[in-house]
Structure 1
């Protein structure tokens, strides 16, 4: 998450997660060091790690867990329960996914890697460790090290020419017989209204300007299959409707969406892209879009691509 070329101010804070989806409550308390990033270049479109954005990452974890009814789709749970496995998350952010799993699978050791150290350094389970390193470069681990390697939603950070290296590195550090898994949103949103369509198109154009092609997400299975060690790729896809017409989970996603698009960095870039003032942008997001979502049912999808590594050596 974030941008390494930015200056930062650090502040310790304690965050309590108490997210309710469909009357199910999950509590998680961690102490973390929050890094506030200032965007230095006009063409940079990464989200700063403010309280609001990090809380949104936490909420999205519980959202996707509820949507899939589990934390992963790879068939590795029995191994995590019984064996002393090693699991890596590439681009772990604040470490929500890892913290959730580390408390459940006590026999497994978990690692998280991220270039921006917003993960908890002290208050964490004993079977969890974090490594500060560039998640888009050569991973600082030997070959065949992990039983399970996972990557969450980094689609607005990874540039088009980085995907092949990232996936090949994930496969390299996975043991034969182990699994890799990537969580990605579907690039197509169906049944959108005119306000949401404008926002989506502005977002896509801004990403393209930053060297990020969101259409690549639909091709990730082809990149995985092109590696001789992962010739078969499975896909687990779940759909949902954003807004009140999507029920409780639709409201949760609407809140996540509004949190992201109300961010100052996003507001700055998208208002400029749309040719409107920041005040007009705020009205579009917080009034026009919310009203539109009462009368439309925009349909989204989340996809998990997963593959088992075979030994071709």
Structure 2
């Protein structure tokens, strides 16, 4: 009997695991943004001493994994699983970046929802007694993503106002059966939502309905209200998707406007850095969570957070075939205290 389930899409963890360390490494552009003081490392250039952007992205994951272990005073031999993925074909950033880790590996693909997806799986593994320590990690890279999904950088293609800037960065978290919080207490797994949007330069509009579906479902499954949290944060809807999300959630009877933000809005100064609608990419939610949000949880500035990473499940093939953009959003409920 699935005794931990609440409603159709949510689980309540009976032995809530702790997030005992995080790490974040970002690129030069992210390092000039509003959250620059919260990242562990800011690299000097997009190549980071490697021969290709893809190799640089693998290095981001490899070094973030090492930093997560270092901050938790753990060795790779103490880690039961590493759960990781990225935006590149066959998740080569994660696969190549972690191939020398000597840790059991679960590769996942949730596009930009990958951080919340991996944290969801990791938390359930720990709560279920299948693991004591799980590292969840993901990455993205502006140059490798542009090369794969849009246009070669050499073309200098003009970006429309709705376009978002893929974050160069990697974020990771170590989820453990031991620790004093912050704790993962609830997980709401998203459904695939497709409203027929085909514009690959308007990811925010494509992903917002999936975020709305997961947020509203989370409230209905758990009985929580927006006031249960002091921050509800989506992954990378950007400025356009953020406004759509607020309005559509309001139409469902919930007002989140005063406590809601989006990682794609938070990570850049859109006006000064010319990022149009904001940030995107797996590394967007991952670095903002592992940097800013986790540190605010640790210093007590935040106590209850609903973290929802959002992903557009398109590919170059589906775009070329004229397909619409199916999307998904996964929610992770995090608290600093189990006494509520």
TM-score higher than 0.5 here? no
TM-score (norm 2): 0.28
Q: Which has the larger radius of gyration?
A: 1
